[in-house]
Structure 1
Amino acid sequence: MMQHQPIARPRGEAPSTSTLWLATAPAGPHLPALSAEIETDVLVIGGGVAGLSTALHLAEAGIDAVVLEAQQPGAAATGWSGGLIAPDYIRHTPETIGPVLGRQAAERLTRMIGTSAATVFDLIARHAIACDARQDGFYTPAHTEALATNQRRYAMQWHSRGYPVEFVEAAQARRAFGVERYCGALRFAQGGSINPLAYARGLARAAAGQGARIFTDSPVLSLDREGQRWVARTAGGAVSARRLVLAANGGNAALHPALRATALPLHVVQFSTAPLAAEARAHILPDGGAFTDKVPYLFTARYDGAGRLISGYPLSFLVRGPKGHLREARRRLRQHFAGMADPQIDHIWEGVAWVNPTLLPELYELPEGALAIQACNGRGLSTNTAIGIEVAAMLATGRRDALSITPRTPSPIRMHAAAAMLPKLLMSMAYLSH
């Protein structure tokens, strides 16, 4: 586990608008920009968790892989995230997903999601990735008795399939969180949190160590099919590949026309406090863990290794500008945690979670054998790690049954420009009713 000195900004000084992770992650490996014309078996575009997991496991399988990253590993959505490792569905459960996908496909996806947190922490241990890994549980608290009743049933669905998931009753949940508003919580014992930028940098280091070639600061200017190969051109060179994996998440739309208008952005504000004093930590999440509730205007909280409380909230049309975001961050902490009368925010930044209309992870099949890993739905660190492993296994062996997600043809969202405004509109309505 990474150790950080509890350095706080002077009280009254404006918080940093860069991510906490930039201030605390170990330096990544030195990776060059593309400056030549090269060939490879598999080209992966995107150096976030999905792309790096794919490249690492391709390299481990002896497949020559090249990654093109427009900036640096983890620089975009991965490195803006809250760092939660949550092996859970957003909307569905192991039972309700059955009628949607069919029983066998549903069980495969449930298995991938249910094991995804353990997959992340095992990978971190195997490659000795210093990313403040904290496998101390992930909770989804219930704010109504009706939801608590449902979550007791959800816990049994997971538990009956062999996963360490339980329902924590109200009194224990309130003590675990230091929050009085909840009626209980679903607890995923294998979940937790990480420094997501440090994780991405560690995956890049591990992939490069296994022989994957990673080129940074190399945005793709054109992507074409030439004969039997894919050719991606950058300002400094070109990559010719037999197979192609698009793993740029929201950036996939700019790489292939079939992926335009297939995902929606959910903009969020993430923030961290100065390290909390011991007496505050004795009442707020005293046993650690991470949680994200089910309230429409959701609330989330967890610690890092230095004792900073990390939280976030979705952007709306009603909270604007740096001062407004800071006021809202402080208000939310005071609202949820008794005794936090004057919370000090040291870092506050904006991020984005790309969302599929189904709220399920998607693997899109493109012409000429290309694949696209798309949309994290707020669960990308764990699910995209697992998807990358499976895509690599499929490409290495040719076995499509290595995939827990059945690849499908992408379909654009109707009236996408208007739909892209919908998440922020819904969050504005949730803010007003909160």
Structure 2
Amino acid sequence: MYDGSHPKDQALWSVTAPAAVQTDVLDGDCGFDVVIVGGGLTGLRAAITLAEAGSSVAVMDSRHIGYGASGRSGGQCNPIWRATPEELAAKYGQAQAERLVRTTLSCADDLFDDIRRFGIDCGAEQNGWYQAAHTRKAAAGLRRLGAAWQKAGAPIDVVKAPDLHERIGSKAYDFALRHEKGGFVQPLALTRGFAHRAKSLGVRLFENAPARQMERRAGLWRVSTDRGTLSAEKVVLATNGYTDALWPGLRRSILPMVSIAVATSPLSPELQASVLPGRVTFADTRLAIYFGRYDADNRLIFGCVGSNESVGSFGGHRRLRSGLLTVFPQLAGTSLDYTWMGRIAVTPDLMPHLHEPAPGVLAGLGYSGRGIAMTSVMGRCLAQRALGAKVDDLPFPVSPIETLSFHGVARNFIPLMAPAMSMLDRATVFQDRVMRRFS
């Protein structure tokens, strides 16, 4: 059995990613057509679209390219929303929902097409994603979700036990949706690949350049840092879970949750044949969601919800180990080599938000666990709007920034949310077992 020792507190992706792009040093004042704050997947994909259209672009990051969840997520491409097309229509209106649904149906293929077109070496595999129900109630919800998206044209299959047990190598679930277009990437490698592509198009990349202040002066937006100022007609804010007080209210419109993950040692061929055979990816319906996929070296990446920047706090290591063996008991005795975390932005409706709070200012954030697929959609969307696209032609609606009235209290209790959600998950699983026994 696993001896309980903690693996190295280091992101696997930083060890296996290709070399980082060489960036510029900001010293003084520079002018561009567009300045992008945030060097993650959203900002870089926006920069590529803008540069391809002939705009001069700068991308600035307070740390380094891919520092945030873009370089530390689980790397799974989960190309579907938690809401049905009908629910999206009720929320946004029919025309807007139709644009969003069309974009959603193509988002995974669009991402993997970008990877091939740009020649990015990021371990990309599109082998499908299993969305597994942890209780019968959750299965009923997935059944409705799958039927609604099938009707809209999504290639989704229903898979039940015992076939499901063989397909994912786990008896922890008896019902799942198989999303044909799902897959995974090495997220930091993808982010660096986007950065290399952006730089090849003339985009200037500035690291260790935290944006301290934004102000409008002489018809331009000026973004000040400790070592200089970037001026532009338009500014794109793409900071997601690391959003700060740069723009009023934006930080208080999302909750910065944490995703934590562990990487095993490379699995033997025998274990690979019994754990996620076919190198598919999976995620379940728990509140404190479990997810898993392989990397290029046949390590299993397994993750769940964490409490804060320290993976081990509030029982994080224990939840990872317990969850791993709950889903894949055949991995007992397998060593765990790495653990890490990434901060994600969660919105109240679990949908990304596109904002235009002032002329020339755009913001896109709040992927709520769908970042690998949807950051590219948002990045292109932000760029198109900056280039003059009409609001009615965009996949995401432009909405006002709405601050959460409970934001301050919620941020203080975020460290307790992961263990609380885990307790609720255990309670629902126990209740489901009792109901199965007496039904």
Report the TM-score, using the length of structure 2 for normalisation: 0.91
Runs of 4+ in 1 over 6 A off after TM superposition: none
Match of 2:358? Answer: 367
Shifted more, 282-291 versus 198-207: the winner is 282-291
Cα 1:274–1:320 change in 2 (3 A) is closer
CA contact (8 A) 1:334 1:342 kept: no
Match of 2:84? Answer: 93
CA contact (8 A) 2:129 2:183 kept: yes
Match of 1:220? Answer: 211
Amino acid at match of 1:43: V
Amino acid at match of 2:221: W
CA RMSD of aligned residues (A): 2.1
Cα distance in 2 for partners of 1:73, 1:16 equals: 23
Cα 1:315–1:13 change in 2 (3 A) is closer
Q: Secondary structure at the match of 2:243?
A: helix
Amino acid at match of 1:412: T
Cα distance in 1 for partners of 2:31, 2:212 equals: 17
How far apart are 1:289 and its partner, in Å?
1.0
1:162-173 to structure 2, matched below 5 A, reads 162-173=153-164
Match of 1:195 among 169, 173, 186: 186
Aligned residues: 422
CA contact (8 A) 2:240 2:344 kept: no
How far apart are 1:424 and its partner, in Å?
4.4
Q: Secondary structure at the match of 1:258?
A: coil
Match of 2:26? Answer: 34
How far apart are 1:349 and its partner, in Å?
1.3
Cα distance in 1 for partners of 2:63, 2:408 equals: 26
TM-superposition CA deviations, 1:250-281 (whole Å, max 9, x none): 33332111314111021222111000111111
Q: Secondary structure at the match of 1:153?
A: helix
Cα 1:432–1:395 change in 2 (3 A) is closer
CA contact (8 A) 1:132 1:305 kept: yes
Match of 2:349 among 355, 358, 372: 358
Cα distance in 2 for partners of 1:190, 1:320 equals: 31
Q: Secondary structure at the match of 1:43?
A: strand
CA contact (8 A) 1:130 1:199 kept: yes
1:321 and 2:312 correspond = yes
Match of 1:57 among 36, 45, 49: 49
Match of 1:301? Answer: 292
Amino acid at match of 1:188: H
Cα 1:421–1:178 change in 2 (3 A) is farther
Cα 1:225–1:250 change in 2 (3 A) is farther
TM-superposition CA deviations, 1:3-28 (whole Å, max 9, x none): xxxxxxxx998522110100100012
1:18 and 2:21 correspond = no
Which segments of 5 or more consecutive residues in structure 2 lack a partner in the other structure? 427-439
Cα distance in 2 for partners of 1:338, 1:169 equals: 20
1:177-326 to structure 2, matched below 5 A, reads 177-316=168-307, 321=312, 324-326=315-317
Cα 1:159–1:224 change in 2 (3 A) is same
Report the TM-score, using the length of structure 1 for normalisation: 0.92
Shifted more, 334-343 versus 118-127: the winner is 334-343
Shifted more, 22-31 versus 325-334: the winner is 325-334
Match of 1:45? Answer: 37
Amino acid at match of 2:49: H
Q: Secondary structure at the match of 2:192?
A: helix
Cα distance in 1 for partners of 2:196, 2:53 equals: 17
Percent identity over the alignment is: 34
Match of 1:4? Answer: none
Match of 1:175 among 166, 169, 172: 166
Cα 1:323–1:297 change in 2 (3 A) is closer
How far apart are 1:359 and its partner, in Å?
0.7
TM-superposition CA deviations, 1:277-327 (whole Å, max 9, x none): 11111111111111110022321111111110001111259x983695334
Cα 1:151–1:332 change in 2 (3 A) is closer
Amino acid at match of 1:31: T
CA contact (8 A) 1:252 1:372 kept: no
TM-superposition CA deviations, 1:57-90 (whole Å, max 9, x none): 1001111111111122111121121101111113
Cα distance in 1 for partners of 2:315, 2:243 equals: 32
Cα 1:322–1:424 change in 2 (3 A) is closer
Cα distance in 2 for partners of 1:161, 1:86 equals: 17
CA contact (8 A) 2:26 2:206 kept: yes
Cα distance in 1 for partners of 2:382, 2:423 equals: 42
Match of 2:396 among 372, 391, 405: 405
How far apart are 1:376 and its partner, in Å?
1.9
How far apart are 1:164 and its partner, in Å?
1.6
Which segments of 5 or more consecutive residues in structure 1 lack a partner in the other structure? 1-10
